[in-house]
Amino acid sequence: MLDKIGKEFDFQQRALNLRAYRQEVIASNIANADTPNYKAVDFDFKQALQSAQGSQNKLALNVTDARHLPGDAAGAAGKPAVQYRNAVQQSLDGNTVDMDVERAAFADNALQYQSTLTFLSKRISSLNTAITGGGQ
């Protein structure tokens, strides 16, 4: 029973984790807006989510010693690889961060994150109602 409930939230959990990581990446770009030669980075959320869904049957790494950490062959902590963002207009110091683009991406990602949380909250509430019988 709990396995079915876990599978119910698996997709949303992956989406939230990727949204949180993307927020970190965008925040890093904003924080380095004045750093000479800093190149803005980002990743394709749709591709990363498809990749995360496809890696459900991933290969586990061999643990041959009790001190080894369990892992998988998906990469560094399952985080997608970031790519350099195309600069709209590079600054004289070589920095490619465009604050308008970063602010828009940050706001959009925050909105998507919040909507996923709202969806999860409503889903958990409806499952709770189904399990408890609606407070009868």
Kindly calculate the radius of gyration of the chain based on its CA atoms and give it in whole angstroms. 20
* Residue 68 belongs to some domain of the structure: no
**19: exposed, middle or buried (C-beta count within 10 Å: 0-12, 13-18, 19+)?**
buried
* Residue 70 belongs to some domain of the structure: no
* Residue 16 belongs to some domain of the structure: yes
Which domain, by its residues, includes 42? Answer: 1-60+80-132
pTM: 0.76
Q: Tokens at residue 81, please?
A: 């690889």
* Residue 110 belongs to some domain of the structure: yes
The domain tally of the chain equals 1
pLDDT tens, position by position, 13-59: 999 999 999 999 999 999 999 999 999 999 999 999 998 887 654 55
* Residue 5 belongs to some domain of the structure: yes
From residue 16, alpha-carbon distances to 72, 91, 115, 117 in Å are 20, 33, 10, 8
